[in-house]
Structure 1
Amino acid sequence: MTVRQEAFLDQVKERGRYDTMGEAERAARVVLALLGAHLVGEVRARLAARLPEGYALILLNPLQSAEPLPPERFVRATAAWIEGATEKTAAWDVGAVLSTVADAAGDDLLKEVLLQLPAGYDLLFGRPQLT
């Protein structure tokens, strides 16, 4: 079942403790674009189907990544895409968005997503040792 965009953003805003919906929206767009570059095939399509339409399109038309980034570099890349971000604030952004994505995905699909990612992403999704 797809999550409504408003509900999805509300969760990101709450988890990220953002002052505005715009901040939550920006974090969601950047993190999902980077995540989409790391996922392929049916797993990416099934995850997109559980996200609000606008975010599903971002996941399906990602930034291109030459190779899957380890978690630390994923956070660094997020910081580079968000104006004024530091690695610390980017780690917060990634956690807020990916934990919300994990809730939308459910454990079974999330396990499949994590199989496509380098080790350590379970922590970014807020689901240690799910793999």
Structure 2
Amino acid sequence: MSMRRESFLTHVQERGEYETREEVERAARVVLALLGAHLVGTVRAELAARLPETYALILLNPLQAAEPLSPERFVRATAAWIEGATEKTALWDIGAVLSTVADTADDVLVREVLLQLPPGYDLLFGHPQPT
């Protein structure tokens, strides 16, 4: 059962402590587009099936990554795509979005997703942590 759009955005907004829905939307789009570029096959399809349609489509039609990004480079890429972002704010954006994504999936699916990603992404799927 996929999470409804409003519910998904509300979760991300609360976790990321965003003031506007616009900020939430932008973070979700960028992070999911970058994530989708790293996933293939049934794992990507299963994860997409848990997301609201708008975001499922972003995950399924991602930016093509020339190579898998290390977690550090994923953070830098996210910062580059979000206007006015720094690596610190990008890390926060990623945590807010990916922890919500992890909640929509079950542990087995999250493990399968992590197997397709370079080492270290498990930390990005955690809740944003104040530094």
Q: TM-score range by the shorter chain?
A: over 0.9
SS in 1 for 2:11: helix
Identity of aligned residues (%): 80
Q: Distance in 2 between matches of 1:80 and 1:50?
A: 27
Instruction: Give the equivalent residue in structure 2 for 1:71.
Output: 71
CA drift of 1:105 comes to 1.1
CA drift of 1:123 comes to 0.4
The gaps in structure 2 that reach 5 residues or longer are none
SS in 2 for 1:33: helix
Correspondences of 1:8-87 after superposition (within 5 Å):
8-87=8-87
Instruction: Give the equivalent residue in structure 2 for 1:100.
Output: 100
Amino acid at match of 1:95: G
CA drift of 1:64 comes to 0.9
Q: Distance in 2 between matches of 1:105 and 1:75?
A: 22
Amino acid at match of 1:115: L
CA drift of 1:106 comes to 1.4
Taking structure 1 as the reference length, the TM-score comes to 0.95
Q: Distance in 1 between matches of 2:76 and 2:103?
A: 24
The gaps in structure 1 that reach 5 residues or longer are none
Amino acid at match of 2:53: E
Question: For this pair of structures, how many residues does the alignment match?
Answer: 127
Instruction: Give the equivalent residue in structure 2 for 1:7.
Output: 7
Point out 4+ residue stretches in structure 1 off by more than 2 angstroms.
Answer: none
SS in 1 for 2:67: coil
